[in-house]
Amino acid sequence: MTKTILQPEMNAVQVRAMQPHASRSRAGLFLAFMALVVAGAVLGLAGQTLIGNLGTAGTFALILAGPFFTVAVGVGIWKSFGKFRILWKQLTWWHGLWLVMVVSNFVFRTRSIETVQQHPLDVAAAFRILLVGLTAFLLMVRLTLKRPPWLHSLFHGLIGIMAVFALVCITSSLWSVNPPWTLYKSLEYLVDLSLLAAILASVGSTESYASLLNWTWVICGVLVAVAWLEAPIWPQEALEGAGGYVGGPLRFRLSGVYPGQGFNMLGTYGAILATIAICRLLPAAAHKFDRAWYAIVLMLGAVTMVFSQTRSAIGGFVVGVALLFIITKRLRFAAALGVASAAVLALTGAGTVVLNFLQRGQSQSQIASLSGRLQWWGVAWDAFKLHPWTGYGAFSSGLAVFPKLGVKEVTPLHSDYVETLVGIGIWGPLLLLAALLGTWWILIRCLRRFPSSTLEHQLAVESIAVLGVLTARSVVMGVIMSQPPIQYFAILGFAEYLRRRYSARALSVS
């Protein structure tokens, strides 16, 4: 009798326990199906757009890879729901302000130097000022309430070096060629640093700071995904050169529309995503990551690097991966991979295709001049020699250099060090290098202090690899000065977090 009574009760419990799991499975299958439908539609539109610009070989490759990419994108979209749900639970107030800082820098139009000087405030500029002002206001409120008291954090350690840099930039508005421009951009940079200082004063664990790093990589991934989604909608704008021949095997370069993202920035995002993916596919020790997910992230980053045709980003990616192999002691694997790649390039004739791709249809003289950068830097050096100690005002070096070259648009000098050298004199590169080298030093030391099985060690490996990408890019692009430099600030902040943790441990021991 007891058996007869207990058996139905056990079955009912089992059924009730299985129902949520079955419901989740059905929901997952539905989302996967919808993701495949969306991915197929987007890739179909993109295929129609790309076929006219890829040539015969490229079109054939696209047709062969189409089904694979459709499934990969569908699976990626499906998995992204679960990944984001986990990250969402970790988000706090400073994650929101970090995103606001990124949105404040969205570009919706390109202005000439004359327009900036005559009409500095338009709707887009007002939108940017509003978001930066909101961030500054909330930070001041929290400072007043001591939640947290972040002012000391701002002038401490590596953040303190960059804060001094920001104060020098603000001071340079007194003699700038465009004082309002210099003053606002410098204050904006200081607000960005203040947010990072407040975050460092708020985080209480490595897991908490890891959420900021992951949030930063998610933002980069979303911006890349948006650029790809825009390609079939606005092909003439999103695929620069789609209306004419750019050069090389590809006849266009991927660029963002809304918000405006140049191919150089998208190439950097792609290199970072691919680097992070490889770091987690080849973790330092017994760390477990979703290999299928990071294989898709690697594909997204690699494809973005290729279609943005950003050579320095590809070079930075190679530097970052090489550092990863060295740090994790995978030199034999790296050597085998290098030999196999060289053999494939030599035996299949793919080396010629790769060379043509890297040349982008440019002549030897254009490549030797770094796509015209050496000419810009030559004029910048002449300008620096006239004002070596003060410069022409932070963030306004382009206004002092490019008119002499006949360039009418507002654009940076494509080098963090040249930009700051002309902007605030010799002090600029010295302060940037002090913070950058300090970040390198702390992260490398952490590899020895923490066992490879710890989260700190894994994050240090990833940070070093990404910092390799950014350091290589900083020579020929603005990744430290470009606002907001969330990728660099995230790594700088992690190094400072570890440094402060060491100091706290030393004090507790003594």
DSSP per-residue string spanning 369-436: TTTTHHHHHHHHHHHHHHSTTT-S-TT-HHHHHHHHHT--B----S-HHHHHHHHHTTHHHHHHHHHH
Residue 254 has phi, psi (to 5 degrees) of -65, 130
d(CA 496, CA 502): 10
**How far apart (Å, rounded) are the C-alpha atoms in residues 126 and 120?**
10
In a domain, 234, yes or no: no
Q: Is the pLDDT of residue 2 over 90?
A: no
| Residue 154: inside a domain | yes
262 vs 119: CA distance, rounded Å: 24
Q: Which helix (H) or strand (E) holds 460?
A: helix 455-476
Q: Is 83 inside any structural domain?
A: no
Query: Does residue 61 share a domain with residue 135?
Result: no
Looking at 158, 179, 202, the residue that finishes a domain is 202
Q: Other C-beta atoms within 10 Å of 507: how many?
A: 8
Output the CA–CA distances (angstroms, integers) from residue 23 to 14, 15, 381, in the order listed.
14, 12, 66
What pLDDT sits at residue 119? 62
Are both 96 and 191 inside the same structural domain? yes
Q: Which of 215, 271, 191 is nearest to 93 (CA)?
A: 215
Percent of all residues in the chain with a pLDDT value above 70, rounded to a whole number:
77
The answer to whether residue 179 scores a pLDDT higher than 60 is yes
Residues 118 and 162 in one domain: yes
How many angstroms separate the CA atoms of 323 and 329, rounded?
10
Q: What is the pLDDT of residue 388?
A: 92
Q: How many CA atoms lie within 13 A of 9 on its CB side?
A: 5
Q: What are 103-113's pLDDT values in tens digits?
A: 988 876 666 55
Q: Does residue 244 belong to any structural domain of this protein?
A: no
Instruction: Mark whether 121 and 152 lie in a shared domain.
Output: yes
- On whether both 37 and 139 belong to a single domain, the answer is no
Q: Which domain range does residue 160 map to?
A: 92-202
Total structural domains in the chain?
A: 2
* Same domain, residue pair 68 and 96: no
Query: Is 198 found in the same domain as 97?
Result: yes
Query: Hunting for tokens 């015209």 — which residue is that?
Result: 372
**Between 459 and 40, whose confidence is greater?**
459
DSSP letter (8 states) at residue 425: T
Report if residue 269 sits inside a domain.
no
Of the residues 169, 202, 235, the one at which a domain ends: 202
Same domain, 49 and 113: no
pLDDT confidence of residue 42: 47
Q: Is residue 110 part of a domain?
A: yes
Q: Quick one: pLDDT band at residue 396, thresholds 50, 70, 90?
A: confident
Are 104 and 196 in a shared domain? yes
Band (156; pLDDT cuts 50, 70, 90): very high
The confidence band for 241, taking pLDDT boundaries of 50, 70 and 90, is low
Q: How many CB atoms lie within 10 A of CB 339?
A: 10
419 within 8 A of 189, measured Cβ to Cβ: no
Q: What is the dihedral of CA 393, 399, 401, 402, to 10 degrees?
A: 160
- Helix or strand (DSSP H, E) at 240: strand 239-240
Q: Which of 13-27, 50-64, 267-281 has the lowest mean pLDDT?
A: 13-27
- Both tokens of 425, joined, read 């004199």
What is the pLDDT, as a whole number, of residue 58? 52
Task: Give, as one character, the DSSP assignment of residue 112.
Answer: B
- β-pairing, 239-240 vs 253-254, is antiparallel
**Choice among 230-244, 330-344, 376-390 with the minimum mean pLDDT:** 230-244
Q: Any idea which residue has 């947010």 for tokens?
A: 195
Q: Return the SS3 of 150.
A: coil
Mean of the pLDDT values across residues 462-489? 92
From 309, 301, 255, 261, select the one nearest 278 (Cα to Cα).
301
Whether the upstream peptide bond of residue 8 has omega within 30° of 0, thus cis, is no
Q: Check if the beta carbon of residue 259 is closer than 8 Å to that of residue 128.
A: no
Taking all residues of the chain, what is their mean pLDDT, rounded to a whole number?
80
- The dihedrals phi and psi of 175, each to the nearest 5 degrees, come to -125, 15
| Cβ neighbours, 10 Å, residue 45 | 15
- State both tokens at 477: 């692009």
Q: Between residues 356 and 217, which one has the greater pLDDT?
A: 217
What average pLDDT does the segment 489-494 reach? 97
Torsion angle (degrees, nearest 10) of CA 382, 386, 388, 390: -130
- The answer to the question of residue 371 being in a domain is no
254, part of any domain: no
Is residue 127 domain-shared with residue 36, that is, in the same domain?
no
- What is the predicted pLDDT for the residue at 357? 74
Domain identity same for 106 and 198: yes
DSSP 107: -
Q: For position 68, what pLDDT does the model report?
A: 62
Q: Which of 504, 510, 507, 490 is nearest to 158 (CA)?
A: 490
> What pLDDT, in 10s, does the model give residues 353-369?
777 777 777 777 777 77
Q: Tell me: do 72 and 143 sit in the same domain.
A: no
User: What gap in Å lies between CA 491 and CA 474, rounded to an integer?
Assistant: 14
Q: pLDDT, tens digit, for every residue of 303-353?
A: 899 888 888 899 999 999 999 999 988 888 888 888 888 888 777 777 777
